[in-house]
């Protein structure tokens, strides 16, 4: 049996399974559509056999919720994701471009970093960021709610934040015990994968199978200079501007801002956040 798990409230409740590539063929094979709203994922997992296949229909937000609800479970069958969201940064990162050759993502759902935000613990599939990226994700949510549209132009909203709205606070990041101080922060993003924002390669050197996360701190610069550097994130070449962009790698990360800002984790927005921590499961031979 093929199961399609979907979130009917995704994309401002405009999720339409009829537009999912391959859905018609799956229906011919005997597919069962299951809403993720109210689903007991553990119970669902226990009902599966090796002959089944689970297909998750949605973008990064849907995968984020599934990964958290399914964390620690051992699925007996393949679990795949269908590209149908607005961002699909996770699928970009693992190299799945279409629905012809689906990737079994069960191994990617293991050993995920634990993020602590205001005492709430979540697992991170793509990345978490405090600063302008959180403000942009909040702007995207507000745009969708206001216009009732599925998609918002992430780049346009980001440029508006960079050039007009965002005010840079001071702050610091501590990676595996080493602290770095900043007086004018655009953002500090801690990445399990390379991408956020629907294709922005914010951490081009990150390997999600390394066990570590990459931390990108963007700071300083005039607005024209910041704009020029920001536009390079789509190819990941912004990291060459070491006068504005620092990259760190490690297992344990603490980020602190002196003023609260918006935060995003896999595109999910938290408001009025001044600190977050990320802890990666350490392999037995890793140094403390």
Distance CA 37, CA 17 (A): 15
List the CATH number of the domain containing 15: 3.40.50.10330
pTM of the complete model: 0.89
Distance CA 67, CA 159 (A): 31
Choosing from 109, 138, 173, the residue where a domain stops is 109
Residues 179 and 91 in one domain: no
Q: Which residues contact 69 (CB under 8 A, 6 or more apart)?
A: 39, 41
267 is written with which tokens? 């595109």
Residues 97 and 118 in one domain: no
Range of the domain at 15: 2-109
Distance CA 209, CA 222 (A): 36
Choosing from 109, 143, 158, the residue where a domain stops is 109
pLDDT tens track, the chain, 288 positions: 889 998 876 654 455 454 444 556 656 667 888 889 899 999 999 999 999 999 998 889 899 999 999 999 999 999 999 887 667 899 999 999 877 789 999 999 999 999 999 999 999 999 999 999 999 889 888 887 888 766 777 788 888 888 888 999 999 999 999 999 999 999 999 999 999 988 899 999 999 999 999 999 999 998 889 989 988 999 999 999 999 999 999 999 999 999 999 999 998 999 999 999 999 998 876 666
Residues 130 and 236 in one domain: yes
Residues 68 and 209 in one domain: no
């Amino acid at each position: 049996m093929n199961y399609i798990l979907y979130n009917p409230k995704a994309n401002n409740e405009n999720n339409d399974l009829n537009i999912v590539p391959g859905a018609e063929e799956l229906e011919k094979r005997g597919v069962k559509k299951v809403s993720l709203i109210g689903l007991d994922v553990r119970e669902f997992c226990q009902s599966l056999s090796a002959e089944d296949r689970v297909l998750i229909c949605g973008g990064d937000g849907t995968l984020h919720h599934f990964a958290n609800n399914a964390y620690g479970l051992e699925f007996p069958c393949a679990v795949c994701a269908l590209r149908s969201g607005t961002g699909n940064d996770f699928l970009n990162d693992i190299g799945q471009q279409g629905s012809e050759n689906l990737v079994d993502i069960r191994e990617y759902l293991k050993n995920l970093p634990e993020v602590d935000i205001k005492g709430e613990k979540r697992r991170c599939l793509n990345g978490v960021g405090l600063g302008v990226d959180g403000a942009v994700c909040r702007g995207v949510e507000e745009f969708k709610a206001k216009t009732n549209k599925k998609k918002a132009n992430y780049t346009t909203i980001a440029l508006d934040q960079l050039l007009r709205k965002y005010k840079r606070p001071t702050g610091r990041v501590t990676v595996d015990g080493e602290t770095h101080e900043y007086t004018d922060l655009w953002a500090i993003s801690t990445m399990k994968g390379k991408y956020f924002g629907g294709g922005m390669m914010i951490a081009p050197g990150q390997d999600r199978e390394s066990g570590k996360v990459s931390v990108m701190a963007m700071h300083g610069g005039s607005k024209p200079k910041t704009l020029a550097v920001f536009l390079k994130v789509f190819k990941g070449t912004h990291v060459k501007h070491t006068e504005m962009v620092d990259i760190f790698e490690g297992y344990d990360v603490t980020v602190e801002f002196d003023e609260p800002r918006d935060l995003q984790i896999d595109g999910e927005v938290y408001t009025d956040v001044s600190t977050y921590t990320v802890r990666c499961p350490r392999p037995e031979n890793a140094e403390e």
